[in-house]
């Protein structure tokens, strides 16, 4: 399959905008959006929604839900809203949901706060691949389609809590999924440029143990150690993983006791699980819940859990969508291998809500979530072209896959 003349004009237009893409990336990387930094999140959301509105989108700001209390996090007005920018064109038979997150994992006040270009065609900066590069190319792709006059129907969601579990924005992502035909998320490509077509699911838990405090010297036998109760359970958790089956469980941080000369009455551990399917998810849930005690006798153990990101197995609709993306890549002279990953993202939620979704359509790079996060600068233009033409073909309906 080769590019149509119109698609070639889109690709050329994007190639012409290479410098503007880099400038835009520099601007967005320089606005801190980690750790619920509201001024940066608000500014980034404002800049992007204004550009989408210039393309005819209408913006709805949707207030977020609270996280479970044991996970902490912002409440009430501190919860950032999700922007939902909708733009439909009557002649398009299909509509695309584009999911982007504004937040990064980086401290707003750290030294790592701007884009630094290196000699080897890469640059470093907070969020440069995860996912400011993806946001920048997606807005530019829609602008290039508009410039060339290619019709497209899309909704672009901009949430601010993907890195902390999408608790605030999950409801709106699910409801938007129901009214679209295809989901595209802007997470970075895997290290070799692969498209992730299969993802594990993930969940959080907290195990709390309660005992009775006592002075170690005067009344040791009156005490019931919460730390010992927790430690016994952590040993049991240590025996649970079966990585060959994709059953993964990790514990940390752990907290317990305040001073050495008192029997501790409270201890707690937090942890994360990964699973390839609902069966293993249920198995992990059952084994963790069995660590709880019944009744009020001490020591008492209580489990809280939130398995919030369902697994994203390869379903036929997603495979067909991935094959269409590969076809676009090949007509641009790019290759697009497929891969699996244990990482999770909002694509897990979109697909679980019934929407065929591919989610690594952002830029290429590496060092995600570290102070060495880097982007391959070539990929700005390449991946913008891929995204633009894929959106055009999906909006036009049909399936060549
Ligand atoms: Zn991300």
- The pLDDT of 8-12, averaged and rounded, is 98
Compute the distance from residue 54 Cα to the ligand 1 centre, in Å: 26
Q: What pLDDT shows up at residue 398?
A: 63
- The pLDDT of 229-238, averaged and rounded, is 98
Q: What pLDDT shows up at residue 401?
A: 38
Relative orientation angle of helices 133-148 and 18-29, to the nearest 10 degrees: 140
Compute the distance from residue 24 Cα to the ligand 1 centre, in Å: 18
pLDDT score of 65 more than 70? yes
- The pLDDT of 368-374, averaged and rounded, is 96
Compute the distance from residue 163 Cα to the ligand 1 centre, in Å: 7
pLDDT score of 123 more than 70? yes
- The pLDDT of 384-396, averaged and rounded, is 97
Compute the distance from residue 394 Cα to the ligand 1 centre, in Å: 23
306-323 confidence digits (pLDDT tens): 999 999 999 999 999 999
Q: Report the 10 Å Cβ neighbour count for 396.
A: 14
Compute the distance from residue 373 Cα to the ligand 1 centre, in Å: 12
Compute the distance from residue 243 Cα to the ligand 1 centre, in Å: 24
Compute the distance from residue 263 Cα to the ligand 1 centre, in Å: 43
Q: What pLDDT shows up at residue 400?
A: 41
Task: Name the one residue in this structure whose structure tokens are 């035909």.
Answer: 181
Integer-rounded Cα radius of gyration of the chain: 24
Compute the distance from residue 6 Cα to the ligand 1 centre, in Å: 31
Compute the distance from residue 232 Cα to the ligand 1 centre, in Å: 36
Answer yes or no: are the C-beta atoms of 61 and 159 closer than 8 Å. no
Phi then psi dihedrals of residue 162, to 5 deg = -65, -40
Compute the distance from residue 165 Cα to the ligand 1 centre, in Å: 11
Compute the distance from residue 162 Cα to the ligand 1 centre, in Å: 7
- The pLDDT of 11-33, averaged and rounded, is 98
Strand order in the sheet with 96-101: 58-62, 82-87, 154-159, 96-101, 182-185, 357-358
Task: Name the one residue in this structure whose structure tokens are 């937040």.
Answer: 103
Q: Report the 10 Å Cβ neighbour count for 369.
A: 12
Compute the distance from residue 179 Cα to the ligand 1 centre, in Å: 23
- Measured CA to CA, the distance from residue 27 to residue 41 in angstroms comes to 13
pLDDT score of 279 more than 60? yes
Answer yes or no: are the C-beta atoms of 268 and 256 closer than 8 Å. yes
Assign 1 a pLDDT band (cuts: 50, 70, 90): confident
Compute the distance from residue 268 Cα to the ligand 1 centre, in Å: 29
Compute the distance from residue 304 Cα to the ligand 1 centre, in Å: 26
- The pLDDT of 110-124, averaged and rounded, is 97
Compute the distance from residue 344 Cα to the ligand 1 centre, in Å: 9
- Measured CA to CA, the distance from residue 178 to residue 75 in angstroms comes to 27
Q: Which two tokens stand for residue 374?
A: 């880097």
pTM of the model as a whole: 0.94
Residue 145 parent element (H or E): helix 133-148
Q: How many CA atoms lie within 13 A of 56 on its CB side?
A: 13
Assign 192 a pLDDT band (cuts: 50, 70, 90): confident
Compute the distance from residue 131 Cα to the ligand 1 centre, in Å: 5
Compute the distance from residue 295 Cα to the ligand 1 centre, in Å: 42
Assign 399 a pLDDT band (cuts: 50, 70, 90): low
pLDDT score of 172 more than 70? yes
């Amino acid at each position: 399959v080769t590019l149509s003349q119109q698609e070639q004009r889109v690709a050329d237009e994007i190639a012409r905008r290479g410098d503007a893409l880099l400038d835009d990336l520099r601007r967005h990387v320089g606005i801190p959006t980690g750790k619920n930094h509201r001024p940066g999140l608000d500014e980034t959301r404002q800049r992007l929604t204004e550009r989408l509105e210039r393309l005819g989108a209408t913006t709805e700001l949707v207030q977020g839900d609270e996280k479970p209390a044991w996970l902490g996090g912002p409440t009430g007005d501190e919860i950032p809203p999700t922007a939902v920018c909708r733009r439909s064109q009557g002649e398009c038979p299909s509509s695309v949901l584009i999911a982007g997150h504004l937040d990064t994992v980086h401290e707003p006040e750290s030294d790592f706060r701007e884009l630094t270009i290196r000699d080897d065609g890469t640059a470093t900066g907070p969020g440069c691949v995860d996912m400011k590069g993806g946001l920048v190319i997606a807005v530019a792709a829609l602008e290039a389609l508009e410039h060339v006059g290619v019709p497209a129907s899309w909704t672009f969601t901009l949430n601010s809590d993907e890195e902390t579990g999408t608790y605030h924005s999950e409801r709106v992502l699910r409801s938007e999924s129901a009214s679209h035909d295809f989901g595209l998320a802007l997470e970075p490509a895997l290290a070799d440029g692969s498209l992730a077509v299969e993802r594990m699911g993930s969940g959080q838990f907290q195990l709390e143990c309660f005992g009775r405090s006592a002075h170690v010297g005067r009344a040791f036998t009156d005490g019931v150690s919460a730390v010992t109760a927790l430690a016994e359970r952590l040993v049991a958790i240590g025996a649970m993983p079966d990585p060959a089956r994709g059953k993964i469980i990790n514990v940390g941080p752990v907290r317990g006791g305040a001073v050495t000369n008192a029997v501790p009455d409270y201890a707690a551990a937090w942890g994360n699980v990964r699973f390839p399917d609902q069966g293993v998810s249920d198995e992990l849930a059952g084994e963790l819940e069995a660590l709880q005690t019944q009744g009020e006798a001490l020591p008492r153990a209580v489990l809280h859990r939130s398995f919030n990101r369902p697994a994203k197995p390869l379903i036929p609709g997603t495979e067909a969508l991935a094959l269409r993306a590969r076809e676009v890549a090949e007509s641009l002279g790019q290759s697009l291998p497929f891969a699996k990953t244990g990482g999770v993202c909002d694509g897990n939620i979109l697909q679980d809500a019934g929407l065929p979704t591919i989610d690594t359509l952002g830029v290429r790079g590496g060092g995600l979530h570290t102070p060495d996060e880097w982007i391959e600068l070539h990929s700005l233009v390449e991946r913008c072209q891929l995204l633009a033409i894929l959106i055009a073909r999906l909006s036009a309906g049909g399936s060549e896959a």
